[in-house]
Chain A
Amino acid sequence: MAAVTPDQLHGHHAPRGVMRWLTTTNHKDIGTMYMIFSFIMFLSGGVLALTIRAELFKPGLQVVQPEFFNQLTTMHGLIMVFGAIMPAFVGFANWMIPLMIGASDMAFARMNNWSFWLLPPAAILLIGSFFAPGGATAAGWTLYAPLSVQMGMGMDLAIFAIHIMGVSSIMGAINIVVTVLNMRAPGMTMMKMPLFCWTWLITAYLLIAVMPVLAGAVTMILADRHFGTSFFNAAGGGDPVMYQHIFWFFGHPEVYIMILPAFGIVSQIIPTFSRKPLFGYASMVYATASIAILSFAVWAHHMFATGMPAAGQLFFMYATMLIAVPTGVKVFNWIATMWRGSLSFEPPMLWATGFIFVFTMGGFTGLICAIAPIDIQVQDTYYVVAHFHYVLVAGSLFALFAGAYYWLPKWTGHMPSEFLGKLHFWCSLVFFNITFFPMHFLGLAGMPRRIPDYALQFADFNALASVGAFGFGLSQLIFIVVVVKCIRGGERAAARSWESAEGLEWTVPSPAPYHTFEEAPVVR
């Protein structure tokens, strides 16, 4: 081709300053923005969590009033789920999937830009709702009717924020599916794809299937609030329990949306630092797919206490326990990969190993909660809080940190500080367990969640959990230091930054150039 089209010059004549970031269609820029955004949201959600823990440090009301406490628990959940964990994984997908499958960019670069830039307005709506008359929504992150039908303006802002974030993640998911299915380099067959791409492909399908259902559910709440409908309003013939059914039809697959990419990241890291290929690659793919399919058939295990026929309780109980089988396959495969490997424990591997250990504990408490007669006892107690923080913090978040330490050399061109990375890991692991392990005992002893005050016998464990929470929160500041130091300088990273790291992303230089794989690589 003789003519040089403006397209080919794009990278060199791109706008500078703010406009570069506003108008960028580069998957690496967008991935970076996703990750910075999600880290800011992680810190905001963390501040809310620490306010909650400050209030719960001792019995009685010291720091906040009960109405505001309810807003804190609600917004902590919404911000962490929709603002921190989900966008962080989309950021990883943006950065790494094109590099891993040998594509030059995501399939729809401009749509990619939109799906990111929808997020900051949504975050402003969500956090801004604290300043609305009546404050932010206090209905819990699940936004159960009838509370959500009765709240003030903050609820409407939260609904719009969820709409916008939903559109953003559906667009992101469509982009990922098309990229993975159509943009693979020649020779990169589906069963040769890195597991991170596989788990994200399946996650993207889950997102496309369930995010619209959540959008529908909150739209119905909006209609009940303002347009005189009675979807969930019992006074008008509606059914508040039906909201829970619709919400959890979204909500349970959402749980796997937040953990499957984490499984993918860990499945990349464990083989690298075990210096062995992943054990049972095909079974990992099938296990991921089975988890995704089963996730549509277990939603009512969140609702055992709402009154359900015994046949329904049994069905949802057994279906839920069935999910432990593919999850067990995964944990088995990770451990089998490490078995007799030449292990070394650089920060990414520490985080990944920590993930397996602590996530598995969360998985087991999940099995306990799945048993309907036990769930009747522990539902809405701190046992459940302990369970889902073990799978979401020690699961999703630890895997995100593992992935960040693993790919930071590729992103910045410098190796992250090993000492600070290890310090970050050990502080996080210890303080995490100090925070959340006592909550198991609190829950079994009957302490209810989402309540700003508690009976005196819970005081010691709550004080311990609060100390742990502040330690955990402050430990995360180490990560900022690591990333800033890593961007500024440090030991130069080679193209293959970790010994025996496999995959196309390690064939491009570190830091990855602005444009990669414009000539598709050939995979043997």
Chain B
Amino acid sequence: MNSPVDNGLASDNRRLLLRLALSALVMFGFGFLLVPFYEKICEATGINNVLRPEAEAGARFAADAPLNSQVDASRSILVQFDANLHDLPWRFQPVQRSVSVHPGQLVHVEYEVTNTRAEPITGQAVPSYGPQLAGQYFRKLDCFCFAQQTLAPGERRIMPVVFVVDPALPSDVNTITLSYTFFELKGRSAASSAGGRAS
């Protein structure tokens, strides 16, 4: 290994060794780089948005998201919201006056209610539909009318209604009005306030 030719070979070898060792080092870093890289890919394509399902709408891979095949996108129904009080010292109104929905689509709307009196009151909302026929095609998955609502003095509450309009809705119905009327449950309220006083 002393001849000049061999020295040339030795330095060639060393140069190649350094280059290969460097590429091994770069690949070690690349392993770690894969972490942010995958995150960005998933973010850009919307593949792995477990935490933000709503982001799927704009994503390129949205087609792979579970699609609700029951939605009839060819029809739009105008759903109007109405709120009434029956002898109740409350303020009660829908957050949105109306929404346009496709039959089969899951819709989430809200109502706002405020107790203006200085004592707790329990009320129960009763829905009604216009036209009345639409009621049987109106499927509520969640509604504040499913339970009695007890409001503390001055309490303001946002309450949900989650519903689907059945695609079997007759084709001549294009507008549905959902109207709620709150009634006071006097007995309950008295009992609860009596209980409160007793303790």
Hey, which bits of chain A sit against chain B, CB under 8 A?
A: 1, 5, 7, 107-108, 170, 173-174, 177-178, 181-183, 208-217, 219-220, 231, 239, 241-242, 245-246, 249, 308-312
Instruction: Determine chain A's interface SS by DSSP, over half rule.
Output: helix
B170 beta carbon closer than 8 Å to chain A: no
Q: Which among A173, A216, A241 has the greatest number of chain B C-beta atoms within 10 A?
A: A216
With both chains docked as a complex, state the minimum distance between the C-beta of A418 and any C-beta of chain B, in angstroms: 41
B31 beta carbon closer than 8 Å to chain A: yes
Stretch at the interface among B10-18, B81-89, B113-121, B138-146: B10-18
Residues of chain B within 8 A (CB-CB) of A210 are 27
Stretch at the interface among B32-40, B172-180, B186-194: B32-40
With both chains docked as a complex, state the minimum distance between the C-beta of A2 and any C-beta of chain B, in angstroms: 12
With both chains docked as a complex, state the minimum distance between the C-beta of A236 and any C-beta of chain B, in angstroms: 13
- Find out whether the CB atom of B21 lies under 8 angstroms from the CB atom of A309: no
Report which of B16, B24, B39 forms a contact with A212, defined as CB distance below 8 A: B24
Instruction: Determine chain B's interface SS by DSSP, over half rule.
Output: helix
- Find out whether the CB atom of A309 lies under 8 angstroms from the CB atom of B20: no
Q: Which residue of A lies closest to B51 (CB)?
A: A237
Q: Which residue of A lies closest to B23 (CB)?
A: A208
**Alpha-carbon separation in the docked complex, A217 to B38 (Å):** 14
Residues of chain A within 8 A (CB-CB) of B78 are none
Residues of chain A within 8 A (CB-CB) of B1 are 7
Report which of A1, A182, A211, A214 forms a contact with B13, defined as CB distance below 8 A: A182
- Find out whether the CB atom of B17 lies under 8 angstroms from the CB atom of A174: yes
B73 beta carbon closer than 8 Å to chain A: no
Residues of chain A within 8 A (CB-CB) of B13 are 107-108, 178, 182-183
Residues of chain A within 8 A (CB-CB) of B21 are 174
**Alpha-carbon separation in the docked complex, A181 to B25 (Å):** 21
With both chains docked as a complex, state the minimum distance between the C-beta of A160 and any C-beta of chain B, in angstroms: 16
Residues of chain B within 8 A (CB-CB) of A231 are 35
Q: Quick one: given A182-B12, A242-B38, A309-B61, are A208 and B20 in contact (CB under 8 Å)?
A: yes
Could you name 27 residue pairs across A and B whose Cβ atoms are closer than 8 Å?
A1-B3, A7-B1, A107-B13, A107-B17, A173-B20, A174-B17, A174-B21, A178-B13, A182-B12, A182-B13, A183-B13, A210-B27, A211-B24, A211-B27, A212-B28, A213-B27, A216-B31, A216-B32, A217-B31, A219-B31, A239-B39, A241-B48, A249-B31, A308-B47, A309-B64, A311-B64, A312-B47
- Find out whether the CB atom of A249 lies under 8 angstroms from the CB atom of B28: no
B137 beta carbon closer than 8 Å to chain A: no
- Find out whether the CB atom of B16 lies under 8 angstroms from the CB atom of A177: yes
Q: Quick one: given A239-B48, A249-B34, are A216 and B28 in contact (CB under 8 Å)?
A: yes
B9 beta carbon closer than 8 Å to chain A: yes
B69 beta carbon closer than 8 Å to chain A: no
How many cross-chain pairs have Cβ atoms below 8 Å apart between A and B? 87
- Find out whether the CB atom of B23 lies under 8 angstroms from the CB atom of A209: yes
**Alpha-carbon separation in the docked complex, A111 to B165 (Å):** 75
Given contacts A182-B13, A309-B64, 18 further A-B contacts (CB under 8 A): A1-B3, A7-B1, A7-B2, A107-B13, A174-B20, A183-B9, A208-B20, A208-B24, A210-B27, A211-B27, A212-B24, A212-B27, A216-B29, A239-B39, A241-B48, A246-B31, A249-B31, A309-B47
Instruction: State which residues 47-79 of B face A: CB under 8 Å.
Output: 47-48, 61, 64
**Alpha-carbon separation in the docked complex, A312 to B64 (Å):** 11
- Find out whether the CB atom of B2 lies under 8 angstroms from the CB atom of A170: no
Q: Quick one: given A182-B12, A242-B38, A246-B34, are A311 and B61 in contact (CB under 8 Å)?
A: yes
**Alpha-carbon separation in the docked complex, A173 to B27 (Å):** 14
Residues of chain A within 8 A (CB-CB) of B35 are 220, 231, 242, 246
Q: Which among A178, A211, A217 has the greatest number of chain B C-beta atoms within 10 A?
A: A178
Residues of chain A within 8 A (CB-CB) of B61 are 309, 311
Residues of chain B within 8 A (CB-CB) of A219 are 31
Residues of chain B within 8 A (CB-CB) of A217 are 31
Q: Which residue of B lies closest to A237 (CB)?
A: B51
- Find out whether the CB atom of B24 lies under 8 angstroms from the CB atom of A170: yes
Q: Which residue of A lies closest to B21 (CB)?
A: A174
With both chains docked as a complex, state the minimum distance between the C-beta of A517 and any C-beta of chain B, in angstroms: 14
With both chains docked as a complex, state the minimum distance between the C-beta of A406 and any C-beta of chain B, in angstroms: 29
- Find out whether the CB atom of B31 lies under 8 angstroms from the CB atom of A213: yes
**Alpha-carbon separation in the docked complex, A198 to B124 (Å):** 83
Q: Which residue of A lies closest to B30 (CB)?
A: A213
Q: Which residue of A lies closest to B46 (CB)?
A: A309
With both chains docked as a complex, state the minimum distance between the C-beta of B102 and any C-beta of chain A, in angstroms: 25
With both chains docked as a complex, state the minimum distance between the C-beta of A238 and any C-beta of chain B, in angstroms: 9
**Alpha-carbon separation in the docked complex, A242 to B34 (Å):** 9
Q: Quick one: given A212-B25, A242-B38, A309-B61, are A178 and B31 in contact (CB under 8 Å)?
A: no
**Alpha-carbon separation in the docked complex, A210 to B23 (Å):** 10
**Alpha-carbon separation in the docked complex, A1 to B6 (Å):** 14
Q: Which residue of B lies closest to A234 (CB)?
A: B50
Q: Which residue of B lies closest to A232 (CB)?
A: B35
Q: Which residue of B lies closest to A214 (CB)?
A: B31
